[in-house]
Chain A
Amino acid sequence: DAKTTQPPSMDCAEGRAANLPCNHSTISGNEYVYWYRQIHSQGPQYIIHGLKNNETNEMASLIITEDRKSSTLILPHATLRDTAVYYCIVRPHQGAGSYQLTFGKGTKLSVIP
């Protein structure tokens, strides 16, 4: 079972920041937080991951709370092409299950013109 909880859907105005929350209150010390997204009729696409520090790349920023029980994915300037289902996943880098991605139902983000 997925160890994360996400809202089922969110809307965001085009050009505005999209902030997608994720709860992972049972995360273990060796588990990372990953975000993937799935655009309609495509396979999932990696976005970003982190352990405890905030991370930023060309696609998004990841903010992880100090207690690591929740995180927020930020798309700074959402475009229509960002409309997708966003999945928050916790995963260890080593040991059992380290190669499996356990997806929940994700958040369907709709970017509105």
Chain B
Amino acid sequence: GAGVSQTPSNKVTEKGKYVELRCDPISGHTALYWYRQSLGQGPEFLIYFQGTGAADDSGLPNDRFFAVRPEGSVSTLKIQRTERGDSAVYLCASSLTRDREGNGYTFGSGTRLTVV
């Protein structure tokens, strides 16, 4: 497709469950980013992939959060033992290489995760 696709668009899960959120970047974009946006706040950086490797995962809040990008395209954000505080919109973005000027970042519409 022409844009960044994130699935599902909405996810409701029970506290303690495991969830996976998927991101399909724009074809050919080697850089991929995950952000998290809590209600009323701006997005916060979680992790950045260059190709298959996580170049910077410093934004992941704790070891319950993990992300993979095994073939350098689709990425999955995985959250174990979900907590109510994990409820947020999870945004994915992609860009060509590292896109030094940052105007090539394309964001998806996000996955709204609700932990009940």
Contacts and interface: CB of A to CB of B under 8 A. Distances in A.
A95 to B, nearest CB: 11
A98 B100 contact: yes
Contacts of B21: none
Interface string A33-63: 0100000011111100100000000000000
Contact of A99 (B31, B91, B108): B31
Contacts of A32: 101-102
Contacts of B55: 99
Interface residues on B, range: 20 to 34
Contacts, number: 62
Contacts of B56: 99-100
B102 A43 contact: no
A53 to B, nearest CB: 14
Main secondary structure of the interface of A (DSSP, over half): loop
Contacts of B33: 99
A32 B103 CA distance: 12
B98 interface: yes
Contact of B100 (A2, A41, A93): A93
Interface stretch (B12-20, B39-47, B65-73): B39-47
Interface string A62-85: 000000000000000000000001
Contact of A44 (B43, B45, B98): B43
B105 A46 contact: yes
Contact of A105 (B4, B41, B99, B104): B41
Interface of A: 2, 32, 34, 41-46, 49, 85, 87, 91, 93-94, 98-106
10 contacts: A43-B107, A43-B109, A45-B107, A46-B104, A49-B102, A99-B31, A99-B33, A100-B48, A100-B56, A103-B42
Interface of B: 4, 31, 33, 35, 40-45, 48, 55-56, 59, 91, 93, 98-105, 107-110
Listed from nearest, the 9 A-B pairs whose CB atoms lie closest are: A43-B107, A103-B42, A100-B45, A46-B103, A93-B100, A103-B43, A44-B107, A43-B91, A43-B108
